[in-house]
Amino acid sequence: MDHIYQLLCIPRAPSLSIKDFNNGNYNQFLEKSMKSASSLSKDAELKADASNQLAKLLSAKSHSPSNTLRTMNEMFAEAAKACHFDRERALIEWLQTCVSTVVEFGLDPASADNKIYTEKPPIEQKKSSDRGVAQSKNKKKPVQELEESEWDDDEFGYDRIGHSDDDYCPSDDDDAVVPKKQPGRKSSPAKKASSSSDTEVKKPKAPRKKKDDQVVPVSKKDATFPVIKEGAGSKALHKYIQDIPCANALSSDALSNGYFARAFFFPSKDSFNAFLSVLNSAQKSIDICVFAFTDDDVADALIAAKKRNVAIQIITDNQQAAGKGADAKRLQESYGIPFKTDNTTGYMHNKFAIIDNKTLINGSFNWSKGARFKNRENVLITNIPQCIKEYQGQFDSLWKEF
């Protein structure tokens, strides 16, 4: 019966040639190859070329444990889509459960002794919704991306980790949003005189080549201070921050009553450890308002906080939330962490977080590995009550507005 159904109802797999694998991104490659698995199995040369292309695409992806599992789950998801029978799809899903468990234990051997796994890792699937429709109506013009060949990672002293998560890394050029002319507003004489120049369309700036780019110093391989343990609380965090040596600081520079305001700069593993420690300290709440969020290590810290019953809310830019590698939607669908976006033509460009209403993170740092490893960034960590109060008020206002 299956053979008859297959003959009558299932279309033939599309034919492929070697050139089909030389173009397209990772997701396009997966979709093509999974739908044409039978062709690949019959043509040794085609299979070899496809394997080489897969290796090339995977080499450009992040190889952190969480991203490795996500990459593997994407493969299974495309394989399941290519199935025509429910029993085939069920086999793929169960195989995913088995392989995911084996890989996770391989990445973290201690997990085999400390955890019992009863759930299949979630498969990310594209779902249409009213939210997606609303975002598409307000979607901004795509920003020109940097070509992979324009960067030489070895020259700058950082490896390829994070490339798949950060196809788009915002720069200062992206901050300039030209406001639309307000109705009913009259132009000044100076503006009228230059009206002819106003009609000129500015050409987009070409991405900087590696030879023109700043040379980012190599960060230390090993951090001088570790990440604080999960759920440590605000008191432990504040002591942790105050104990971190401060360059060129005098004892008289310390704030009174145990308050502090400490600046950290990137690229630096120590700075990221301090940033991550603030998130790890959470016991009750984390309110996040950040333009770009694609760093899987940060996402893992939020997942761990969610599992210890910390209430988490995320506000992010609507265009960034819909971009490749964005974590906000994934955290909502897989772990129930709510997020909201601005749905406007401008940018929701804030970059701050409030933890337990006792600690504030603020600065230029986008929550992405591209920013962490490549950019000159900064964060300020403080427990000054008035600062926290004002930022919390802004977060609550934006959450209600969006």
Cβ atoms of 229 and 308 within 8 Å: the answer is no
* Residue 127 designated active-site: no
Indicate if 383 and 238 belong to the same structural domain: yes
pLDDT on residue 389: 97
Identify the band that residue 275 occupies on the pLDDT scale cut at 50, 70 and 90.
Answer: very high
Q: Report d(CA 140, CA 352) in Å as an integer.
A: 23
pLDDT on residue 54: 82
The answer to which of 99-113, 163-177, 289-303, 334-348 has the lowest mean pLDDT is 163-177
pLDDT tens by residue, 8-66: 555 555 566 666 666 667 777 778 888 878 777 778 888 888 888 888 777 766 667 77
Domain-ending residue, one of 114, 142, 163? 114
The answer as to whether 53 is a domain residue is yes
Q: Which residues contact 156 (CB under 8 A, 6 or more apart)?
A: 210, 213, 215, 216, 374
Indicate if 103 and 239 belong to the same structural domain: no
pLDDT on residue 12: 54
pLDDT on residue 289: 98
Domain-ending residue, one of 114, 140, 163? 114
Cβ atoms of 370 and 248 within 8 Å: the answer is no
Q: In the predicted model, what is the mean pLDDT of residues 153-171?
A: 39
pLDDT on residue 343: 84
Give the active site residue among 47, 63, 81, 349. Answer: 349
Q: What domain range includes position 69?
A: 2-114
CA of residue 270 relative to chain centroid, distance: 20
Q: In which residue are the tokens 């929550």 written?
A: 367
The answer as to whether 290 is a domain residue is yes
Number of domains in the chain: 2
The answer as to whether 225 is a domain residue is no
Give the active site residue among 61, 163, 329, 351. Answer: 351
Type of residue numbered 176:
A
Q: Report d(CA 221, CA 163) in Å as an integer.
A: 19
* Residue 163 designated active-site: no
The answer as to whether 120 is a domain residue is no
pLDDT tens by residue, 358-390: 999 999 999 988 888 889 999 999 999 999 999
222 compared with 69, residue with greater pLDDT: 69
Give the active site residue among 165, 287, 356, 369. Answer: 356
Whether residue 191 has pLDDT greater than 50: no
The answer as to whether 331 is a domain residue is yes
**pLDDT more than 70, % of the chain:** 62
The answer as to whether 171 is a domain residue is no
pTM over cut 0.85:
no
CB burial string 182-207: b at 16+ within 10 A, e below: eeeeeeeeeeeeeeeeeeeeeeeeeb
The answer as to whether 165 is a domain residue is no
**Rounded to whole angstroms, what are the CA distances from 384 to 260, 262, 273, 280, 367?**
7, 11, 21, 19, 23
The answer as to whether 201 is a domain residue is no
CB burial string 35-50: b at 16+ within 10 A, e below: bbeebbeebeebeebb
pLDDT on residue 340: 96
pLDDT tens by residue, 206-217: 555 544 445 545
Q: In the predicted model, what is the mean pLDDT of residues 87-92?
A: 84
Q: Report d(CA 341, CA 400) in Å as an integer.
A: 11
Q: In the predicted model, what is the mean pLDDT of residues 263-267?
A: 93
Type of residue numbered 378:
N
pLDDT on residue 185: 44
Domain-ending residue, one of 114, 130, 156? 114
Q: Parallel, antiparallel, or unpaired for β 311-316 and 285-290?
A: parallel
**pLDDT more than 90, % of the chain:** 35
Type of residue numbered 20:
D
pLDDT on residue 172: 40
* Helices and strands counted in the chain (H then E): 18, 7
Q: Report d(CA 302, CA 75) in Å as an integer.
A: 25
Give the CATH number, domain containing residue 389: 3.30.870.10
Question: For all residues of the chain together, what is the average pLDDT?
Answer: 74
